[in-house]
Structure 1
Amino acid sequence: MPVIRSVDAQVHEVHNARFTSLVRPGTGSAELCVWQTEVRGESVGVPHRVLGEEAFVLLSGAVTMTIDGESVAMRPGDAAVAPAGSMIALANPTGEIATLLVTVRVGFAAELPDGSTFTPPWAS
């Protein structure tokens, strides 16, 4: 049984967050990517357009998820789905780290505000 140990996972620091890559093609997945995101307190993420569906589950802390201009406060246990093509942003208004579990399909990419496309290494 393929098990990805958290101590062996690749970690990436981007903007206001730490991404711990768990399930992706590099760890044996053919279709899905799963990672843990830790969002620093009192921070606002860079708005970006997701080019594939993205699902979020808040494990701890609190965040404000904005999808296509609609902002909603999330608490632990809450989930959100960003449809393909939607503009998203994630903010943590508290002083504590917020932790989310995120999943997408293999091949996921995002479009940044400058129009460039970004394929996150934690999803490839």
Structure 2
Amino acid sequence: MLLTKPEDAEEFTVHGVLFRSYARSATGAGTLGAWQAAFPPNTPGVPHHMSVEEVFRVLSGRVQVEIGDERAELLPGDAVTIPAGSRFRVSNETEEPATAWIVTPLGMTFTIEGTTNTVKPPWAQ
């Protein structure tokens, strides 16, 4: 059984957001990566382009999501699918923290808008 308890999830912080990795190659996952992201209040998102499809579900709080030219506020229970190759940004423009659960295929990469650097986040490898 591939079990990851909260206290065993490896943590990474990028652009002020805390990522807690529950499923990735290092935990024995074969094809999917899954993690929880914690967005502090008033955290601006960083526009980036995803290499693969991503599913993003809000667990608590509210976040503002942009995919291409579309924008929506997501509430707890809401989920959005981000198509591969799309421009994506998630922000927490509120005074309350927010958390989300995210799933992608392992090996996901992204490119921060305005750069040519491909980022391989360790929580998704």
TMscore range, shorter length: over 0.9
Shift of the 91–11 alpha-carbon distance from structure 1 to 2, 3 Å rule, reads same
1:119 maps to 120
1:26 is paired with a residue of what secondary structure? Answer: helix
Query: Take 1:48 and 1:96, find their aligned partners in 2: how far apart are those partners?
Result: 24
Equivalences for residues 72-83 of structure 1 within 5 A: 72-83=72-83
2:26 is paired with a residue of what secondary structure? Answer: helix
Equivalences for residues 33-112 of structure 1 within 5 A: 33-112=33-112
> 1:24, CA displacement in angstroms?
0.6
- Normalising by structure 1, report the TM-score: 0.97
> 1:50, CA displacement in angstroms?
0.3
Uncovered stretches (5+) of structure 2, i.e. residues with no partner? none
Q: How many residues align?
A: 124
1:44 is paired with a residue of what secondary structure? Answer: coil
Q: Deviations over 1:63-88 (max 9, x none)?
A: 01100121101000000000000000
The answer as to 2:8 corresponding to 1:8 is yes
Uncovered stretches (5+) of structure 1, i.e. residues with no partner? none
2:94 is paired with a residue of what secondary structure? Answer: coil
> 1:53, CA displacement in angstroms?
0.3
1:7 is paired with a residue of what secondary structure? Answer: helix
Residue type of the partner of 1:123? A
Query: Take 2:61 and 2:50, find their aligned partners in 1: how far apart are those partners?
Result: 23
Q: Identity of paired residues, percent? A: 36
> 1:16, CA displacement in angstroms?
2.4
In the alignment, is the contact (CA less than 8 A) between 1:25 and 1:106 conserved in 2? Answer: yes
Q: CA RMSD in A?
A: 0.7
